[in-house]
Chains A and B, each alone.
Chain A
Amino acid sequence: MHDAFRKAGIIIIIAGLGLFTASLWMSHFTLQEKSLEEGLNNEYHYRMTAPFLVSMQGKTFSNSFAFNRALHKALEQGQEAINNDLRENRGLGPSDSEYWSLTLQDYAIQSVKLPVTRASVGGFLPQNAGFVGLSVLLLLLAGSLLYFYPDLKRIPGIANNGTFKSGWQNRGWPGILLGGYLTAFYIALYFFPEHLTGWIMLVDPLSHYLNGNPASQWFMYGLLYTLVIAVMGVRMLLRYRHNAYQLWRTLSVMFFQTCFAFLLPQLLAALNRPAPDLKNIWPLDYSFFFDYRIDEMISSGTFGFFLLFWGIALMLIGVPVFTYFFGKRWYCSWVCGCGGLAETLGDPFRQLSDKSLGAWRIERWLIHLVLVFAVVMTIAVLYAYLPTEGPGLTGRRFFVLSSLLLLIAIGLIWFYNQKAGAGLPVRTVQIGTVVALFVIGIGGWRLISGESYLYFLDHYRLRSWYGFLVGSVFAGVVGTGFYPLMGNRVWCRFGCPLAAYLGLVQRIRSRFRITTNGGQCISCGNCSAYCEMGIDVRAYAQKGQDILRSSCVGCGICAAVCPRGVLKLENGSADISERATALRAIHISETEVRLLD
Chain B
Amino acid sequence: MRIIIIGNGISGATAARFIRKWSDHSITMISAESDYFFSRTALMYVYMGDLRLKDTRPYPPEFWKKNNIQLIKARVTGFDKDTKTVALDTGQQLSYDKLIIATGSTPRFFGWPGQELEGVRGLYSLQDLEYIEKYSKDLKRAVVVGGGLIGIELAEMLHSRGIPLTFLVREKHYWDNILPPEESAMVTRHILDNGIDLRLDTALQSIIDNGTGRVEAVQTDKGEQIKCGFVGITTGVQPNIDWIRNSELECEHGILVDDQLQTNLPDVYAIGDCAQLRQAQPGRKAIEAVWYTGRMMGETLAFTICKKPKAYRPGIWFNSAKFFHLEYQVYGSVPASLPTDQDTLYWEHPDGKKSLRINFYRSSQVVSGFQAMGIRLRHEVCEKWLKNEALLEEVLPNLALANFDPEFYRRHEKDIVKLFNQRFGKNIRLQPRRNILNKVYQFLKS
- Interface set of A (CB-CB < 8 Å, partner B): 155-158, 160-166, 242-245, 247-248, 356-357, 515, 517-520, 522-526, 528-529, 538, 542, 556, 559-560, 563-565, 568-575, 584-588, 593, 596
Tell which of A161, A245, A570 touches B409, judged by Cβ atoms closer than 8 Å.
Answer: A245
Does B408 contact A572, Cβ atoms closer than 8 Å? no
Q: Besides A158-B325, A560-B406, 14 other CB < 8 A contacts?
A: A155-B325, A157-B324, A161-B160, A243-B406, A248-B408, A515-B404, A515-B437, A518-B380, A519-B379, A522-B291, A523-B291, A538-B58, A572-B438, A573-B438
Q: Which residue from chain A places its CB closest to the CB of B193 in the assembled complex?
A: A155
Does A559 contact B406, Cβ atoms closer than 8 Å? yes
B295, CB-defined interface residue at 8 Å? yes
State A211–B437 Cα separation when bound (angstroms). 48
Q: Do A156 and B441 contact each other (CB < 8 Å), given the known contacts A519-B318, A525-B55?
A: no
Does A524 contact B56, Cβ atoms closer than 8 Å? yes
State A585–B315 Cα separation when bound (angstroms). 13
Q: Do A593 and B55 contact each other (CB < 8 Å), given the known contacts A155-B194, A245-B409?
A: no
CB distance from A169 to the nearest CB of B (A): 10
Q: Which of B39, B310, B436 has the most CB of A within 10 A?
A: B39
State A161–B50 Cα separation when bound (angstroms). 5
Interface of A is mostly: loop
Tell which of A160, A524, A572, A588 touches B42, judged by Cβ atoms closer than 8 Å.
Answer: A524
Q: Do A565 and B320 contact each other (CB < 8 Å), given the known contacts A518-B379, A525-B56?
A: yes
Tell which of A157, A518, A522, A523 touches B325, judged by Cβ atoms closer than 8 Å.
Answer: A157
Does B437 contact A525, Cβ atoms closer than 8 Å? no
Does B48 contact A162, Cβ atoms closer than 8 Å? yes
Does B406 contact A245, Cβ atoms closer than 8 Å? yes
Does A565 contact B329, Cβ atoms closer than 8 Å? yes
* One of B234-242, B300-308, B388-396 at the interface: B300-308
CB distance from A295 to the nearest CB of B (A): 43
Q: Which residue from chain B places its CB closest to the CB of A564 in the assembled complex?
A: B320
Q: Which residues of A contact B22 (CB under 8 A)?
A: 593
Q: Which of B50, B56, B440, B442 has the most CB of A within 10 A?
A: B50
Tell which of B57, B324, B441 touches A572, judged by Cβ atoms closer than 8 Å.
Answer: B441
B383, CB-defined interface residue at 8 Å? yes
B residues 306-334 touching A (CB-CB < 8 Å): 307-308, 310, 315, 318, 320-322, 324-325, 327, 329
State A519–B295 Cα separation when bound (angstroms). 10
Does B404 contact A588, Cβ atoms closer than 8 Å? no
Q: Which residues of B contact A596 (CB under 8 A)?
A: 307-308
B363, CB-defined interface residue at 8 Å? no
B246, CB-defined interface residue at 8 Å? no
- Interface set of B (CB-CB < 8 Å, partner A): 10, 22, 39, 41-42, 45, 48-52, 55-58, 60, 160, 193-194, 291-292, 295-296, 299-300, 303, 307-308, 310, 315, 318, 320-322, 324-325, 327, 329, 376-380, 383, 404-410, 435-438, 440-442
Q: Do A525 and B57 contact each other (CB < 8 Å), given the known contacts A155-B324, A565-B320?
A: yes
Does B45 contact A526, Cβ atoms closer than 8 Å? yes
Does A517 contact B378, Cβ atoms closer than 8 Å? yes
Q: Which of B329, B376, B406 has the most CB of A within 10 A?
A: B406
Does A523 contact B10, Cβ atoms closer than 8 Å? yes
Q: Which residues of A contact B436 (CB under 8 A)?
A: 572
Q: Which residues of A contact B48 (CB under 8 A)?
A: 160-162
Q: Do A160 and B379 contact each other (CB < 8 Å), given the known contacts A524-B56, A596-B307?
A: no
Q: Which residues of A contact B325 (CB under 8 A)?
A: 155-158, 242
CB distance from A556 to the nearest CB of B (A): 6
Q: Which residues of A contact B408 (CB under 8 A)?
A: 244-245, 247-248
Q: Which residues of B contact A593 (CB under 8 A)?
A: 22, 303, 307
CB distance from B303 to the nearest CB of A (A): 5
Tell which of B39, B296, B300, B409 touches A525, judged by Cβ atoms closer than 8 Å.
Answer: B39
